[in-house]
A = this chain, B = another copy of it.
Amino acid sequence: MKVVALAGGVGGAKLVDGLAQVLQPEQLTVIVNTGDDFEHLGLYICPDLDTVCYTLAGEANPITGWGRIDESWISFDEIRRLGGTDWFNLGDRDLATHILRTHYLKQGLLLSQITNEFCQSWGVKVSVIPMTDERVPTIILTKDGRELPFQEYFVHQRCEPEVQGFRFEGCSLAKPAKGILQAIDNADLVIFCPSNPWVSINPILNIPGIRDHLSSKKIIAVSPIVGGQTIKGPAAKMYSELGIVPSSVAVADTFRGLISAIVIDNQDASQTTQINAWGIMTLVTNSIMKNRLDRKRLANELLDFSVLIL
């Protein structure tokens, strides 16, 4: 059985880690959102890609939800002392990733090649591929008429501006990174991880070719909304600001026409009827992953359930 998972940051990385515990490395390909990528002090940062890789390497910081475990902040303490910007800190170990990636990108290597090389160094055997090698920055359109690059919205403005919409800059000209379409074509099952539908999964779906190749596939989404809220990040807030009650129903609706089934939490069991009415099957379970065993359990349940739709 071959599986392709679409993932954003923390929530997506957790399920990917669960899948990696259950499947053989060659059975799993992870396509990661790069719409959040940005430059900070001239360094090229890929927050979702790094979170997925660090999580798979067992080196993600479990407290912050980003960056590395056992991290120190010596360089950035000095950068602050020198008057550098202080709204986005990078740890010393994390910094190595950004310095070397920025250097390799300038030398002309592709992000997907660099990611592949880094994964080998980190002992990550699963295939992790950025959605594209081009730069497709997600822009948040706010109700007060501003256009904010994602990290500006997410980190600097702490997701406070009200959201009106999204723009995936340059996405119409972008190409999926090498191996993505082939992995989708070869997949028996595609999983939309419990990542933000608006700014993690949709950016991937908007890379030309990906949605077309997914159209003939069996897809199971995992709702990142539980009890009307998100475990982490602004997904629920975004649904509300777009005039949609945040719920698993809303997530299913976002992906209607594309997904065959959705995994929702026990708290949302009452929403199954409405979702099923759209021809979308539901797996109702404990979808909250508090530790590595939870991740493995959810991955197992999901794969067992998938037999029903394959």
Contacts and interface: CB of A to CB of B under 8 A. Distances in A.
A83 B121 contact: yes
A102 interface: yes
Contacts of A102: 42
Given A83-B117, A96-B82, A97-B82, A103 B42 contact: yes
A78 B99 CA distance: 10
Interface in A78-98: 78-79, 81-84, 92-93, 95-97
Interface residues of A, number: 27
A83 B99 CA distance: 12
A78 B121 CA distance: 10
A289 interface: no
Interface string A276-300: 0000000000000000000000000
Chain A interface secondary structure, helix, strand, loop or mixed?
helix
A83 B100 CA distance: 9
Contact of A72 (B41, B42, B72, B81): B72
A42 B92 contact: no
Contacts of A81: 96, 121
Contacts of A117: 82-83
A106 B42 contact: yes
B75 A95 contact: yes
B72 A84 contact: no
A41 B95 CA distance: 12
Contacts of A72: 72, 74, 92
A147 B33 CA distance: 45
Interface of A: 41-43, 72, 74-79, 81-84, 92-93, 95-97, 99-100, 102-103, 106, 117-118, 121
10 contacts: A43-B99, A74-B74, A75-B92, A78-B92, A79-B100, A84-B99, A84-B100, A84-B103, A92-B92, A95-B95
Given A75-B92, A79-B96, 15 more contacts: A42-B99, A42-B103, A42-B106, A72-B74, A72-B92, A74-B92, A74-B93, A75-B75, A75-B93, A78-B92, A78-B93, A83-B121, A84-B100, A84-B103, A99-B99
